[in-house]
A and B are shown apart, each in its own frame.
Chain A
Amino acid sequence: MNRLETKHPRAIRWMHWINFPVLVAMIWSGLLIYWANDVYAIRVGGTTLFHFFPDWFYRALNLEHGLAIGMAYHFTFMWFFAINGVLYVLYTFISGEWRQLLPNRRTPREAWQTILHDLRIRKEPLPPGKFNGAQRLAYTGVILMGAGSLLTGLSIYKPTQLAWLTSLLGGYEWARFEHFALTVGYVLFFVIHITQVIRAGWNNFRAMVTGYELVPVEEQRHA
């Protein structure tokens, strides 16, 4: 038998889903900008293992010759990204949701258990709670990454007026690299996030849309 229980507050669901297309717009316009000076690559010794990005990638996504339009979109959608992110952080603090999201002293151990569990090395069930240790680290980490994108973004947007920030981040060229690396980080986060959502199943996904989930009654102890 199942019971209906609240899971995700309405505000968090809206901000989560709004962030998705906004981040897509930021990454798309960011790629239009990056194309004009696409200097980053993974190199070992003198050999380039992977160039960000190969020509076919730009062609496939129609990212060539779009610097000006990319900047215009980037400097428009940055407002939605920043405002949504700031509201999310404010909301989690005011509502107390941060208690479920921030890592605590049990988190490192729980995160390790989660990884072993997900790799099917550890058979015991995970400790009860809304978010497991790995989720706490991931969801806190991605917010810190968002803050990092805002700061590195500002530092390359206004490197003279905010020169102190740019220097703090290692100078203009480093800050541009950090801004790019964070974006690669979002893509990696996205891949793992989608994989885990698919693994967790429909009830879990539906809770992010409706706010409610069905919980088997015999697991009510922790509710």
Chain B
Amino acid sequence: MRKDLEPLPGAEAERHMRRLTRRSFVVGALAALTGVGAWGWLRSRATDDGLPWPLRRVLDFNRSLAEGYFSESRLAPTFPAEAVQEPARTNGLVGLAADNATANWKVVVEHPETAGQVVALETILALPRQEIINELKCVEGWSQVIQWSGVRFADFAAKFGPRRPTRYVYLATPDGSYYVGLDWASAVHPQTLLADLVNGAPLTWNHGAPLRLLLTVKYGYKSLKRVGLVRFTDRRPPCYWTERSYDWYAGL
């Protein structure tokens, strides 16, 4: 037992206790008021992409920590073929079109060293094939084991991207209505694919035919469907869901 105060007997103890109680409850009330004030302050701050700006700052701080820890050698777990859960669930159809007009598909590639080149789908798919069975994680909280095949984004970037890596990559649907921004390290992670097959079959329109992105290091909303534009850039690109209050980094 601490001895910072001698045990006081009798009436003196009662008196002293009353004084201590008064003091402690006043301090406690002030602390509680400070907390309520801080909460009110936080809730009333100007918003930055739908979030009070202090929360955005913390998400950016969390991102810098995560980027510091990130290593491309750390891979998402993969699963055996029996673990695949069919049918592959879809969520989010912004920027897609059910017209199946995917013949002669071309992807526009832009980077600081070129004005823009148009790459045919066949040229992209001629890169070395890569397959992965991973657990896709939706920001909503569900996950599903799905098989994807296509080509590595890192190979795509090496062949069609800039010689000097950019800080970011921006991808968008052909109509520009859905778009994602990625940090370079996540884009060239060995499990990041440009996929044309899901569970062994060609992508249907709602999975992003004819070519989609697939990341194991981000929530599903970063895995853009129906890739129409790839832009390598040093300016942090916008992201569809970030403008709707979600985290820009969304790193897993």
By a beta-carbon cutoff of 8 Å, the part of chain A in contact with chain B is 1-6, 9, 17, 21, 33-34, 36-37, 39, 67-69, 71-73, 75-76, 79, 157-161, 163, 166-167, 171-173, 176, 206, 209-212, 214-215, 217, 223
Contacts and interface: CB of A to CB of B under 8 A. Distances in A.
Given A75-B58, A76-B55, A206 B21 contact: yes
B120 interface: no
B75 A160 contact: yes
Given A1-B10, A36-B140, A69-B245, A212 B5 contact: yes
Nearest to B56: A72
Nearest to B252: A160
Given A6-B5, A36-B140, A210 B10 contact: no
B51 A72 contact: yes
Interface of B: 1-5, 7-10, 13-14, 16-17, 20-21, 23-25, 28, 31, 35, 50-51, 54-56, 58-59, 62, 66, 69-71, 74-77, 135, 137-143, 216-217, 241, 244-247, 251-252
B201 to A, nearest CB: 25
Given A3-B13, A161-B70, A72 B59 contact: yes
B13 A2 contact: yes
Given A68-B244, A214-B14, A223-B1, A163 B139 contact: no
Main secondary structure of the interface of A (DSSP, over half): helix
Given A67-B139, A68-B245, A161-B66, A21 B35 contact: yes
Nearest to A159: B252
A218 to B, nearest CB: 12
A4 B4 CA distance: 12
A158 B77 CA distance: 12
Q: Which 8 A-B pairs have the closest CB atoms?
A: A37-B141, A68-B245, A4-B13, A210-B24, A36-B140, A72-B55, A76-B58, A160-B76
B140 A67 contact: yes
Contact of A34 (B9, B20, B141, B252): B141
Given A158-B251, A172-B137, A4 B17 contact: yes
A100 to B, nearest CB: 10
Given A37-B141, A71-B246, A160-B216, A6 B1 contact: yes
A172 B246 CA distance: 21
A1 B10 CA distance: 5
B1 A5 contact: yes
A173 B136 CA distance: 11
Nearest to A223: B1
B17 A212 contact: yes
Contact of B217 (A5, A160, A215): A160
A157 to B, nearest CB: 8
A172 B219 CA distance: 13
A5 B7 contact: yes
Contacts of A34: 141
Nearest to A164: B74
B62 to A, nearest CB: 6
B1 A163 contact: no
Contacts of B245: 68-69, 72
Contacts of B3: 6
Contacts of A72: 51, 55-56, 58-59, 245, 247
A160 B25 CA distance: 47
Contacts of B247: 71-72, 75
Contact of B9 (A1, A69, A160): A1
Contacts of A73: 55
B9 A3 contact: yes
Contacts of B71: 161
A39 B143 CA distance: 12
A171 B74 CA distance: 16
Given A75-B58, A160-B217, A206-B21, A172 B75 contact: no
Contact of A160 (B1, B21, B59, B74): B74
Contact of B76 (A5, A163, A176): A163
Contacts of A1: 9-10
A215 B143 CA distance: 56
Given A6-B1, A17-B28, A160-B74, A209 B16 contact: no
23 contacts: A3-B10, A3-B13, A4-B7, A4-B17, A5-B1, A6-B4, A68-B241, A69-B51, A72-B58, A75-B59, A75-B62, A159-B76, A159-B135, A160-B76, A160-B216, A160-B252, A161-B69, A161-B74, A161-B251, A166-B77, A209-B21, A211-B20, A214-B13
